[in-house]
Amino acid sequence: MDCQERFQIIYPQPDPLPVDLPASPLTKLWIYTNYDCNLRCSYCLAESSPKAFRRAISSSDIERLVDEALELGFDHVYFTGGEPLLLEDIYEILAYASQRMQTSVLTNAMLLNGKRLEKLRAIRNDNLVAQVSLDGSHPEQHDPYRGAGSWEKTVAGIHNLQEHGFRIHLSTTQTPANQAHLAEICAFHQALGIAEDDHFIRPLAKRGFSQAGLQVCKETLMPEITVNQDGIYWHPLSTDADMKVRSTIFPLSEAVSQVQAELETISQASQAELNTFR
């Protein structure tokens, strides 16, 4: 199955059939560790940039979230931003989480050299995955949205991760700059030795800095519990006010109950299929 075929399966067009909900769809916990970033991607959903306020969530709150999520049956935690590797305590956070469940850290990989790479290498384990944003097999497919020179540094970061034995997932956002080159991108990740199932392709969403893309809201997205320092949100695609579930983080169980109730209401009222994003 090629990239375009997988894209169509993961992001189907609206279906007239009612939503068939799984018994317990809430198995992924997303945590916005921070909002500052070394890049200012022009489609960034979180409006991250070098000038963005950090808005960091504390390590003690993260540890409590991981513990409560584990008790509730969650099996995977994702740390996103911003660029999580800007945080001094991210390595302790990742170590704590990955000792307890599957853990992914989303990164542009540009900072993975020197001391940061060594600190990450020191906590490497089978539960820890680096999910790297890569939008092309060449700079001209990647850099227009992420910044000049970013492709070269990201690919170098991928090679550094591989040299230290990390499992890598690649996340590609489909843009006008790369949409005609998905097959090339697939060939590139295969040449890197990254499995097809470890490469995710997603469309642009019209949130944050992005002025184009899919319109997304609670009624179009299968929920994935998302947390930042200000509360609980429906999905990691947006921490805008309309996606907020609760203004208090704890106990996590109350947010889960509220999301499940809202999801049931949506499923009864809508005949559109809810999309999942990776």
Domains in the chain, ordered, with CATH?
3-11+24-269 (3.20.20.70)
What mean pLDDT value characterizes the chain? 91
Gap between the terminal Cα atoms of the chain? 18
Q: Find where tokens 């030795």 sit.
A: 193
Confidence of residue 276 (pLDDT cuts 50, 70, 90): confident
Average pLDDT over residues 99-114: 98
Confidence of residue 1 (pLDDT cuts 50, 70, 90): low
Is pLDDT of 24 > 70? Answer: no
Average pLDDT over residues 96-119: 98
Distance set, CA 105 to CA 166, 200, 260 (Å): 12, 15, 26
Is pLDDT of 2 > 80? Answer: no
Report phi then psi at 106, rounded to 5. -90, 130
pLDDT for 42-60, tens place per residue?
999 999 999 999 999 999 9
Distance set, CA 263 to CA 2, 3, 19, 40 (Å): 32, 30, 10, 33
Average pLDDT over residues 77-91: 98
Which pLDDT score is estimated for 8? 46
Which pLDDT score is estimated for 11? 46
Could you tell me which of 156, 152, 163, 99 has the C-alpha nearest to residue 127? 99
Which pLDDT score is estimated for 21? 41
Q: Which of 126-135, 239-248, 267-276 has the lowest mean pLDDT?
A: 267-276
Which pLDDT score is estimated for 186? 96
Distance set, CA 254 to CA 21, 101, 119, 156, 225 (Å): 20, 21, 35, 43, 11
Query: For residues 21 and 263, is the Cβ–Cβ distance under 8 A?
Result: yes
pLDDT for 152-172, tens place per residue?
999 999 999 999 999 999 999
pLDDT for 211-257, tens place per residue?
999 999 999 999 999 999 999 999 999 999 999 999 999 999 999 99
Query: For residues 194 and 162, is the Cβ–Cβ distance under 8 A?
Result: no
Q: How many CA atoms lie within 13 A of 108 on its CB side?
A: 27
